[in-house]
Each structure stands twice: as C-alpha cells, then as structure tokens.
Structure 1
Amino acid sequence: MRITGISTHVVGTPWRNLTYVLVHTDEGLTGVGETRMLGHTDALLGYLHEAEANHIAGSDPFAVEDLVRRMKYGDYGRAGEIVMSGIAVIEMACWDIKGKALGVPVWQLLGGKVNEKVKAYANGWYTTERTPEAYHKAAAAVVERGYRALKIDPFGTGHFELDHAATAYSVSLIEAVRDAIGPETELLVEMHGRFSPATAIRVAKDLAPFKPSWIEEPVPPENLKALAKVAAHTDLPIATGERIHDRYEFRELFELQAADIIQPDLGHIGGINEVRKLAATAETHYVLVAPHNVGGSVLTAASLQLAGCTPNFKILEHFNDFADSEIKKVVKGAPVVGEDGYFTLSDAPGLGVELDVDAAAEFPQQQARFDLWAEGWERRQPKGAK
C-alpha cells in the first residue's frame, strides 16, 4: 500500500479554524487527521503542500515511524509548531489507515486497552456575561449535562500582575463556580501563562480554599525554572505543556519536577505515537497526562485512542458540547460524552470516525481570531459581537 496524495479541508468558526487532512492510498483506504492552528492555518496548508511532494506521496502508511522521522528531520531545519502540526495530521491519518486495514481500533495497535472509559472535562462553557451569577448558572448547566469536571480562566485580561480588585473579582467567579458544581466535581483553573511567578503564587493561595484539581500554565511557557518556582510554593497540582511542540523539550520539565500533569496537544506535537512515547516517560516521573484538546471530533477521537492504552492518563478536554457545537456534524461517529461524564472507547477500526466532506464545506475557513488579552475574549465571538 502506498500514499497517493492528501486533501485538506478547513472548518471555520469566528474563533478557530480546524484543519482536517485526508490521506489517500492506492488501495482505496483513506485516513483522517486534524489539528487546530492559532493564526497559522494558511502556513500549515503551505507546509503540507510542500511536504506532500517531498515526503508523503509514495510513502507506506504502515511505516509511520519512518514517515515521521523524514518529515521532522528531512528538511534539516528545526521543526516548530507548524511542521510538528503537519506531521501530526499525517501521522493520525496513517494510524487510521492502519487500523482500518487490520480491522482494529488504534488503541489495540498501541498495546491494548487499559482504560474502558475516559473522564471528560468541559471547556468553552463560560461564553456568557462575566459575573458570579452568570457563571454560577452556566456551571450548573455543565453538571446537569453530566460532566464531572470543568475548566475556567477567570482572570479577564490579566497579564503578569493582577491588582487587588481584579484578584478579588476573579476569586469571586471561582467561588460561584465551586458553589454551583459542589465539592465532588473537578474544578480546573486555567491561567493561560498570564502571570509572573510572584503573582501566580499569590493567586494560587487565594484559590486553594476552592480545591482546584490543577492550576494550568501559571507562567509563560518559555521559562521552566519560573514554573518550578511556582511549583515549589504551592500545594496545588501544576498542569502545563500545550505550547511545547517536541517531546524532547519536556525533558527539562521532568528534571525540574515543575509539573504534576502534562498537556501535550496531539495535533501540535507530532501525533498519537509521539504522545504515547512522551506518556511513557512521564510515567517514570509519576506525572499524569491530560492532553490539550481544542479541536473537533477527529482530534478528540485520536486523543481517546491514546487514552485507551495509557496507564497514566487522567482526563480529556472537550469543547464541542458548548462552543461551536454545530460543527460536530462534520464528523461521522463523533465521540460523545455520556451522562456519567465519561467517553466510552470505540471498538471501530482506526480512529473510528469519518470526515463528512460535504458537511465540512458548510463551514468555510474564516479569519478566525482568538486574543486572550482582549476584553471579552472568553465569549469566543467576533470582535464587536454582542
């Protein structure tokens, strides 16, 4: 079997463009991969066009390791977010083809199932007025939907510092959410790399009474020693890793013992097997894995294949019940969060999903914009929308 070519399909919303890639073979089997770029969708498409000619076309989709190696190192330049995202969508699609050809789900090819179900946490649910009352109501609706975990960034446009009034207001939002969801539902607090270490440590102390299961990316991702400083001054678990695009870069994070949960994005770090390797290293450091997942149903399905065979897998992020829920229809067999707040692993071959190209065409690429430093960013709406 050989790859004959690829086709790309961008599903657009005002705040995110989702890139789906179909990998075609000479035996009629087609695999699908997905990633979500922030402001770099056209750059990704350009890279894939070149990579198709240089590396992908003519390759054996079963030889996943070889194709990944050639795409990563064959152009000599150091692979960054765009290249690793391009590798990821092709890699996912090859696993999809391999599973379909053999008639088994990808998790079976990666060692077999250790988790029957995977806990989900909701994100994108707080696209409402930024008040304690509105957040209380919205959080209660998440729990009523069945979720037993949710995440929120309550810090507005905070950057490095957060004054007393802004801190108090942000904490009041967390207090309202905790009151709405009760003590047993997991509360995950996103910081989006906003703060200096001193501010992050101070805010973490204010959040401690509400027992968050983690604080995420409390400081910008470039300086891991700054993250280690935060970890040394809080008892709250630290989660990070969505903006690390190569598993080798996690080495220093593990050495510093700066995180308790890592959050690689399968769509940005080279795909399923790259994260499988990373998860094995994390396990030797007693670190849990909770992938970043702001994509659609294909990326979710790929993340679930990893979850099925990973002993130290904690939980999976899910946006698509609350933000842009209508785009779920572009994928047949889309994973669903059950009434108990868990995904059930699919036994279908490959990734267990198919892209509906006609449905995808109903959501053309947009000039998607997501600015975490702009007022009202949490609403995930076009600038000026009410």
Structure 2
Amino acid sequence: MRITHISTHVVGTPWRNLTYVQVHTDEGLTGVGETRMLGHTDALLGYLHEAERNHIAGSDPFAVEDLVRRMKYGDYGRAGEIVMSGIACVETACWDIKGKALGVPVWQLLGGSVTDRVKAYANGWYTTERTPEAYHEAARAVVERGYRALKIDPFGTGRLELDHDETCRAVALIEAVRDAIGPDAELMLEMHGRFSPATAVRLAREMAPFRPAWLEEPVPPENLKALAKVAGQVEAPVATGERIHDRIEFRELFESQAADIIQPDVGHLGGIAETRKLAATAETHYMLVAPHNVGGSVLTAATLQLAACTPNFKILEHFNDFADAEIKQVVRGAPEVVDGYFALPQEPGLGVEFDPEAAARFPQQQARFDLWAEGWEKRTPAGREDR
C-alpha cells in the first residue's frame, strides 16, 4: 500500500479554523487527521503542499515512524509549530489507515487498553456575560449535561498583574461556579500564561478555598524557572505544556519537576505515537497527562486512542458540546460525553469518518482568538475588538 496524495479541508468558525487532512492510498483506504491553528492556517496548508511532494506521496502509510522522521528532519530546518502540526495530521491519518486495514481501533495497535472509559472536562461553556449570575447558570448547564469537570479562565484581560477590583470579580465568578457544580466536580483554573510569578501565587491563594483541580499555565510558558517558582509556593497541582510542540523540548520541564500535569496537544506534537512516547517519559517522572484538545471530533477521537493505552492519563478536554457544537456534523461517529465520560472507540482506525461535503458548509474564516481583548471569552466577533 502506498500514499497517492493528500487533500486538505478547513472548517471555519469566527475564533478557530480546524484543518482536516485526508491521506489517500492506492488501495482505496483513506485516513484523516486534524489540527487547530491560531492565525497560521494558510501557513500550515502551504507546508503540507510542499511536504506532499517531498515526503508524503509514495510513502507506506504503515511505516509511520519512518514518515514522521523524514518529515521532521528531512528538511534540515528545525521543526516548529507549523511543521509538527502538519506531521500530526498526516501521522494520525496513517494510524487511521492502518487500523482500518487491520480491522482494529488504533489503541489496539499501541498496546491495548488500560481503561474502558475516559473522563472528560468541558471548556467553551462560559461564552456569556461575565457576571456571577450568568456563570452560575452556565456552569449548572454543564453539570446537568453530565459533566463532572469543567475549566474556566475568570481573569478577563489580566496581564502580568491583576488589580484589586478584577481580583474580587474573578473570585466572585469562581465562587459562583463552585456553588453551581457542587463540591465533588473538578474545577480546572485556566490562567493562559498571563501572570508574573508573584501574581500567580497570590491568585492561587485567593482561589484555594474553591479547590481548583489544577492551575494551568500560571506564567508565560517560555521561562520554566518562573513556573518552578510558582509550583514551589502553591498547593494546587500545576499544569502546562500545550504550547510545547516537540516532545524533546519537554526535557527541561521534566528535570525541573515544575509541573504535576502535562498538556501536550496531539494535533501539534507530531501525532499519536509522538504523544504516547512523551506520556511514557512523563510516567517515569510521576506526572499525569491531560492533553490540550480544542479541535473537533477527529482530534478528540485521536486523543482517545492515546488515552486508552496510557496508564498516567488523567482527563480529556472537550469544547464541542458548548462552543461551535454544530461542527460535529462534519464527522460521522463523533465521540460523545455520557455521564462525564467518553467510551473507548471500538470501530477500526480512529472510529470516525470525515464528511467533506458537510465540511464545505463551514468555510475557512479570518478566525481570531485575542486573549487581551475585552469579551474574548465569548469567542464571537462582537466580543472582540480589533487591536
């Protein structure tokens, strides 16, 4: 079996464009992969066009390791977010082909399952007015839908510092959310790399009574010594890693023990097997894995394959029940959360089928996600200012 060509499809919303890559073979089998770029979708498409000529066409889709190696190192330049995201789409699609050809889900090819279900947490649910009353109502809707965990960034446009009034407002929002979801549900606190270490520590202490399940990216991701400074002064677990795009670059994070939970994105880290290798290394450092997942149903299905065979897997992020839920239409067999959990995919390959005709109903947009604009949490054009 050989790869004949690839085709790309962009599914657009106002705040995110999702890129789907279909890998076609000379035996009629087709696999699919997915990633979500922020402001770099056209660059990704350009890279994939060149990579198809240079590396992909004519390759054996069963030889996943060899194809990833050639794509990562065969152009000599150091692979960054765009290249690793392109690799992830193609790599995932090859696993999909391999599973379909052999008649088994991908997780069976990766060592078999260690669990029969995967806990989910909701994101994208707080696209409402930034008041305690509105957040209480929105959070109640999440738990009524069966989720037992959710994540929130309550900090407005805070950057490095957060003044007294905004701190009080953030605390009030979290208090309302905790009241809505009850004492047992997990509440993840997203900081989006906003703060200085001193501010992050102060806010962590303000939020401690509401028992956050983790503090996510409390400081900008580039300085791991700053992250270690925070981790040494807070009680809540620290989570980070979504903006690291090569598993080798996690080495310093492991050595510093500055995080308790790592959050690689399968769609940016080179795919399923690359993330599986990273998870195994994390296990030797007693760290849990909770992948970043703001993609659609293909990326969710791919990450579930990883979850199935990863002993230190904690929980999986899910946007598509609340933000842009209609995009689930582009995939047949989209994974669904039932009573707070995903069931393991049982169909061959990824267990989903991409529908190009349905995808065409969501054309690429000039998507933006400006974390520093008022109303960013609404994820609508009206909720953001051009800056």
The TM-score with structure 1 as length reference comes to 0.99
Q: Which letter maps to 1:375? A: E
Q: Which letter maps to 1:115? A: T
Stretches of 4+ moved more than 3 A in 1?
Answer: 383-386
| Partner residue, 2:353 | 354
For the residues of structure 2 that align with 1:331 and 1:239, how far apart are their CA atoms? 30
| Partner residue, 1:367 | 366
Counterpart mapping for 1:279-290 below 5 A: 279-290=279-290
Residues 193 and 220 in structure 2, CA contact (< 8 A), matched pair in contact too: yes
Counterpart mapping for 1:215-294 below 5 A: 215-294=215-294
Q: Residues 90-138 of structure 1, C-alpha deviation per residue, up to 9 Å, x if partnerless?
A: 0000000000000000000000000100000000000000000000000
For the residues of structure 2 that align with 1:348 and 1:311, how far apart are their CA atoms? 22
Q: What displacement does 1:383 show?
A: 3.7
Q: What displacement does 1:347 show?
A: 1.0
Structure 2 residues without counterparts, runs of 5 or longer? none
| Partner residue, 1:40 | 40
Q: Which letter maps to 1:112? A: G
Residues 370 and 384 in structure 2, CA contact (< 8 A), matched pair in contact too: no
Give 3-state SS (helix, strand or coil) of 1:159's partner.
coil
Residues 239 and 262 in structure 2, CA contact (< 8 A), matched pair in contact too: yes
For the residues of structure 1 that align with 2:353 and 2:371, how far apart are their CA atoms? 32
| Partner residue, 2:88 | 88
Residues 231 and 259 in structure 2, CA contact (< 8 A), matched pair in contact too: yes
Residues 228 and 256 in structure 2, CA contact (< 8 A), matched pair in contact too: yes
For the residues of structure 1 that align with 2:235 and 2:253, how far apart are their CA atoms? 18
For the residues of structure 2 that align with 1:346 and 1:73, how far apart are their CA atoms? 32
Counterpart mapping for 1:40-119 below 5 A: 40-119=40-119
| Partner residue, 1:323 | 323
For the residues of structure 1 that align with 2:139 and 2:356, how far apart are their CA atoms? 34
Q: Residues 200-254 of structure 1, C-alpha deviation per residue, up to 9 Å, x if partnerless?
A: 0000000111001001000000001100000000011000000000001111101
For the residues of structure 2 that align with 1:182 and 1:212, how far apart are their CA atoms? 13
Aligned length: 385
Q: Residues 22-52 of structure 1, C-alpha deviation per residue, up to 9 Å, x if partnerless?
A: 0000000000000000000000000000000
For the residues of structure 1 that align with 2:228 and 2:274, how far apart are their CA atoms? 25
Q: Residues 76-98 of structure 1, C-alpha deviation per residue, up to 9 Å, x if partnerless?
A: 00000000000000000000000
For the residues of structure 1 that align with 2:384 and 2:244, how far apart are their CA atoms? 32
Give 3-state SS (helix, strand or coil) of 1:76's partner.
coil
Q: Residues 126-172 of structure 1, C-alpha deviation per residue, up to 9 Å, x if partnerless?
A: 00000000000000110000000000000000000001111111011
Structure 1 residues without counterparts, runs of 5 or longer? none
For the residues of structure 1 that align with 2:17 and 2:95, how far apart are their CA atoms? 23
For the residues of structure 2 that align with 1:129 and 1:195, how far apart are their CA atoms? 23
Q: What displacement does 1:384 show?
A: 5.8
| Partner residue, 2:296 | 296
Q: Which letter maps to 2:4? A: T
Residues 375 and 384 in structure 2, CA contact (< 8 A), matched pair in contact too: no
Counterpart mapping for 1:205-220 below 5 A: 205-220=205-220
For the residues of structure 2 that align with 1:383 and 1:248, how far apart are their CA atoms? 40
| Partner residue, 2:308 | 308
Identity in percent: 83
